[in-house]
Amino acid sequence: MRKYSSVWVALLGVLVGALSVLTVQKAQENRRMLRTEFKDWRKLNLVLQSLDENYVDTVDRKAVTDAAISAALGALDPHSVYMPPAILEESETELAGNFDGIGIQFNVPNDTAIVLEVIPGGPSEKIGLQPGDRILKVDEKNIAGVRFPQDSMVRKMRGPSGSKVHLTVLRDGETVPFEITRGKIPVNSVDAAFMVDDTTGYLRLGKFARTTYQEVLSASEKLLSQGMKRLIFDLRDNGGGFFDQSLYLADMFLPKDALIVYLEGRNRSRQDYTASGRGKMQDIAIDVLINENSASSSEIFAGAIQDNDRGKIIGRRSFGKGLVQEPLYFNDGSGLRITVARYHTPSGRCIQKPYSSSEDYAYDIYYRYRDGEMLNADSVKVDKSEAFHTVGGRTVYGGGGIIPDIFVPIDTTKASNFYVACNKKATAMRFASWWFDSHKAQLQAIGDFASLNKYLDSAGLESAFLRFAASKDGLKPSSASEWASEKSYMMTAVRALVGRYSKLGDEAFYHIYLAVDNVFGVAIVS
């Protein structure tokens, strides 16, 4: 026994010695890697130090640091970005679900901000601001008729809750001053939700904000109570937003354990996200509308619906953003968004479009127009080597964007000279605000679609619009046949813009405009 014990002690000593050697070797290897990595980055530090010690003028260290960070991230991918404090705050406010401000929606059809909507319960409604008011000044700054940038108008009106801002508005030919105390303003991501027939609901989602799931849930419950059996879910021009909100929305429609999406990266192991099976919309038929500006979270949702054979995707190929960013914040209020993984649809597709050329990436949408993709399904670039299969066995393709099940080209039938000229001068939008000025009481009294349509049918909008276009902009159709070919589309747009000034707001606009929306037209009969 003593002999065997000695052998085991000897063996144990050898093992301990070997482990010690391996530990030392590993530590040395780690130190070598750290030295190598430091050496790789050392040039950047030397450049900054050299500038600080030798440059002819005083170096603005913050400006140079910001420029260096932006340039470094620019060498990676299109979505890893550095954001100075002001840009970071604006970006996060847009998706936060609320912000500090005065609570209005406005448009600038003719170099003057016109209030479209006063948010119920917000500071502006409480103080008496009204739709149709022209904003002349913010505090002492004149913003009307001076080509003041619209984003700068927004920034001047926003501010911390409890602070005050002075607005001077033009109302019925008179200037009226307002002192408004800013407060928390909800930001809605659901632009419109209504029934288009007895069993079909329509929901348009503008972005994936912090409150998106709760907004969609509330809108869906309203539509279900009105008899909805089928939903047309409009994600066109939705550039995405919070990742978790796309998961919550997909969970509403998919059966238990259905894969929604998975993420994977060099330093991120694969992570699957599956449906809980508790969604209230599992038995509701769904069609999803997308276009070339549907990106990120919109593509996650559309890919989950398509790959699980849950519904049809209708429209045009989506943007193609399949990269996942994580935020990194600095104590000066700036921050980074660094790409850490790629997301994959349930079939395994990574729909991120190529970005080896920054110029090609920036002009990708333009190239789609140039190459005929917006007009012809056969021109859509499909990478046949990136073939995958849905739950039901259908073939779908990766390589850049979600390719719809039903392709719908852009509508070129409305591109007459008169239509294009009116678009350039925002004639229809300016006509709508002009009409509202003299019909404010009638429009603001309308709170349902039946009453709105009855009013618009009898208002004489066609002749009034043609007179306005001729007198204000010097525009008129070249012939009776030209007007006859585009009258339906043009006047539907005019009706929608005028209807937006009613109590129904954006819902009126979309409800009316869908009549000439060719993508919706395909969806409703598919």
Give residue limits of the domains in the chain.
98-186, 190-407, 417-525
Identify the burial level of 64 via C-beta atoms within 10 angstroms of its C-beta, where 0-12 means exposed, 13-18 middle and 19 or more buried.
Answer: middle
CA distances from 348 to 133, 304, 308, 387, 396 (A): 52, 11, 12, 9, 10
C-alpha 258/C-alpha 277 separation (Å) is: 8
Each residue's pLDDT, cut to its tens digit, for the chain (526 residues) gives: 444 445 444 444 444 444 444 554 555 555 555 455 667 788 888 888 898 899 999 989 888 888 888 888 888 888 898 888 877 777 766 555 566 788 887 877 777 888 877 876 678 877 788 888 889 999 888 888 888 887 778 888 888 888 998 989 888 788 888 888 888 877 789 999 999 999 999 999 999 988 999 999 999 999 999 999 999 999 999 999 889 999 999 999 999 999 999 999 998 999 999 999 999 999 999 999 999 999 999 999 999 999 999 999 999 999 999 998 888 898 888 888 899 999 999 999 998 998 888 788 888 989 999 999 999 999 988 888 889 999 999 999 987 899 999 999 998 877 678 888 888 787 898 898 889 888 988 998 999 999 999 999 999 999 999 999 999 889 999 999 889 888 988 999 999 999 988 989 889 999 999 999 999 999 999 8
Q: In terms of C-beta density within 10 A (0-12 exposed, 13-18 middle, 19 or more buried), how is residue 242 classed?
A: buried
CA–CA distance, 131 with 498 (Å, rounded to integer): 12
Out of 1.10.760.10, 2.30.42.10, 3.40.50.1100, 1.10.1740.10, the CATH code matching 98-186 is 2.30.42.10
What is the maximum span of the chain, computed from C-alpha positions, in angstroms?
114
- Which architecture characterizes domain 190-407 according to CATH? Alpha-Beta Complex (3.90)
The three-state secondary structure class of 450 is helix
